[in-house]
């Protein structure tokens, strides 16, 4: 093992231990045990729980010990102070302490923890952890994608028409109707998990073929985009440009099990946007 591989292995081990620790001490004990006053509305169709804030604090503390001094962009910290987003333009950690909070707050799965490390707007490493099953997806730029240490190659479902999980939640009315009319009929639709920590693995494991995301915040997508691309699928902006974590005002993202499935959906969305 060369020095680079050893450094990656050590980093993966440290982050995995932290993820398990946070899950066991904070996330799982709060699951299905939240009091009404421990859940707050953060925005329209978006909630935050005491577990989110406690988990983010513990993750930030732990990551600060793994790489001292590296700036941290946490979802809840950025909600409290949008200036935190400025850190995305340099090297930083990115944390989603509980992805799928609406599910978590309702006492149902899926939900997960997302951690990424980015440099100058580009994700270098990502971890996607399922606290309930213990599944850990990892990816490092140029090193492939893994689940629980086993290399993963993305594959399609093999279904015709392809299986699509399309998030309509954050689209405006016109986008939503156009998507229903011009995109949906070409696919076999399934419910979205409302959890990127679950959706990206589904795209790599032959469960779903394509997915459309309107809201593309860094903590939701940094780890998943890298993982899917490293697995040989394709996640990118609708015009095919690479996803960057520092474009926090930009919307629209496609994830696909194969580049061919990506191109097919992207072409349909471009035609829709051009009014056919």
Catalogue the long-range contacts made by 1-8 (C-beta closer than 8 Å, 24 or more residues apart).
Answer: 8/140, 8/143
Contact predicate 212/183, CB 8 Å: yes
**CA–CA separation, 238 and 93 (whole Å):** 26
Question: Is 96 annotated to bind ligand?
Answer: yes
- 183 belongs to an annotated ligand binding site: no
Measured distance CA(104)–CA(28) in Å, rounded: 10
Asked if residue 273 belongs to a known ligand binding site, the reply is no
Residue pointed to by tokens 């993305």: 154
Torsion angle in degrees (nearest 10) through CA of 65, 57, 79, 20: 90
- Reduced to 3 states, what is the DSSP secondary structure of residue 209? coil
- 239 marked ligand binding residue: no
99 is in an annotated binding site: yes
- Which residues carry a binding-site annotation for Mg(2+)? 75, 96, 98-99, 220
- Which residues carry a binding-site annotation? 75, 96, 98-99, 220
């Amino acid at each position: 093992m060369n020095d680079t591989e050893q450094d990656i292995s050590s980093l993966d081990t440290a982050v995995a231990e932290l993820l398990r620790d946070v899950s066991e001490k904070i996330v799982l004990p709060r699951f299905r045990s939240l009091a009404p006053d421990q859940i707050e509305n953060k925005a329209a169709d978006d909630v935050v729980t005491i577990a989110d804030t406690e988990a983010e604090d513990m993750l930030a503390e732990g990551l600060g010990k793994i790489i001292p001094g590296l700036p941290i962009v946490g979802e809840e910290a950025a909600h409290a102070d949008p200036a935190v987003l400025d850190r995305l333009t340099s090297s930083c950690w990115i944390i989603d302490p509980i992805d799928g909070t609406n599910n978590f707050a309702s006492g149902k799965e899926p939900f997960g923890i997302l951690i990424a490390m980015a440099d100058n707007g580009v994700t270098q490493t990502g971890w996607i952890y399922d606290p309930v099953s213990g599944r850990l997806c990892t990816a490092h730029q140029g090193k492939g994608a893994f689940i629980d240490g086993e290399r993963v190659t993305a594959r399609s479902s093999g279904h015709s028409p392809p299986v699509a999980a399309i998030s309509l939640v954050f689209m405006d009315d016109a986008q939503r109707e156009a998507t229903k009319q011009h995109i949906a009929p070409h696919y076999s639709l399934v419910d979205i998990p409302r959890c990127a920590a679950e959706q990206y693995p589904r795209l790599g494991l032959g469960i779903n073929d394509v997915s459309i995301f309107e809201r593309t915040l860094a903590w939701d997508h940094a780890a998943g985009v890298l993982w899917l691309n490293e697995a040989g699928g394709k996640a990118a902006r609708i015009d095919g440009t690479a996803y960057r974590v520092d474009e926090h005002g930009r919307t629209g993202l496609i994830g696909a099990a194969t580049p061919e499935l990506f191109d097919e959906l992207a072409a349909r969305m471009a035609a829709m946007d051009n009014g056919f």
